Amino acid sequence: PMARTVRDAAILLGALTGVDPRDPATIASEGKSSTDYTKFLDPNGLGGARLGVARKFFGFHSDVDKLMEDAIGEMKRRGAEVIDPVEIPTEKDYGENELTVLLYEFKTDLNAYLQSLGPKAPVKSLAEIIEFNEKHGEKEMPYFGQELFIKAEAKGSLASREYLDALEKNHRLLREQGIDAAINQHRLDAILAPTGGPAWLTDLINGDHFLGGSSGPAAVAGYPNITVPAGTVRGLPVGISFFGRAWSEPTLIKVAYAYEQTTRFRRPPKFLPSVEL
């Protein structure tokens, strides 16, 4: 869930978990999820926690790095044991398999959602969205195209060998050989890293100015990841992420909540009439 605070996220997560017969991936959560994650909110949750610092996700921006060093120092003062650095050994080995899985699942899930809307839905498939965009290109795509839509539409079903092989490789490299290996080696409760670089100005000519981020390993593994505010760069928020092995949501919520309550970096968003540089 996307929420204002860790408490709000915990409330939402409790409502979202459970087995959904329409989603086979949720079967594995039976007996391992909770309907009330607020019971894991502990303002002293940093005390005794073993946290690994994934240094490979640093170095994208000096201001972000400084905020992370401040965060690490604060966690140490609150009783966390910080292991620095920690490496995820296979973090870069999955290559194009990540995109392959994304394209297959995007097409399948989007089509299922559109078809669930009933006969009055204006479009019923990704193919129809692509067709609509092409017919109304000047309005729908004045700056950028729909290359990812087209790549996804070219993919087959989730029974395709290409998809199954890519998914297996992703899970093997980022689960037992990746995040699990790092956590086991250092006996960690969680791994931390900057969520991403500072926010950038919208550039309609060159596109996004993405400097880097740490969401990949947990996302590819299908493991939990929580991000909370860690400060600001030029008035825009920067986050710190905590991620861990499968079913570690209670631990991540405890650690993230304790950090959030200690620092209280969140600021209500505001609309600026113009950018401030």
Quick: pLDDT tens for 77-101: 999 999 999 999 998 787 899 999 9
CB atoms within 10 A of CB 71: 22
Residue 28, token pair as written in the block: 């594995």
Instruction: Supply the pLDDT for residue 276.
Output: 61
- Residue of 253, 256, 248, 243 lying closest to 91 (CA atoms): 243
Q: Let me know: does 195 contact 241? Beta carbons within 8 Å.
A: yes
Q: Could you read off the pLDDT of 92-149 as tens digits, one per residue?
A: 787 899 999 999 999 999 999 999 999 999 999 999 999 999 999 999 999 999 999 9
How much is the average pLDDT of 168-196?
A: 97
Which segment, 21-25, 161-165, 266-270, is predicted with the most confidence on average? Answer: 161-165
Torsion of the alpha carbons at 188, 194, 196 and 199, rounded to the nearest 10: 150
Instruction: Supply the pLDDT for residue 277.
Output: 56
Residue 25 has pLDDT above 90, yes or no: no
* Burial environment of residue 193 by CB neighbours within 10 A (0 to 12, 13 to 18, 19 or more): buried
Instruction: Supply the pLDDT for residue 93.
Output: 80
How much is the average pLDDT of 248-271?
A: 95
Angle of CA points 178, 85, 229, to nearest 5°: 90
Instruction: Supply the pLDDT for residue 275.
Output: 64
Percent of the chain with pLDDT over 70: 99
- Residue of 60, 151, 54, 43 lying closest to 107 (CA atoms): 151
Residue 144 CB partners (closer than 8 Å, separation 6+): 207
Statement: the pTM of the whole predicted model exceeds 0.85: yes
Instruction: Supply the pLDDT for residue 121.
Output: 94
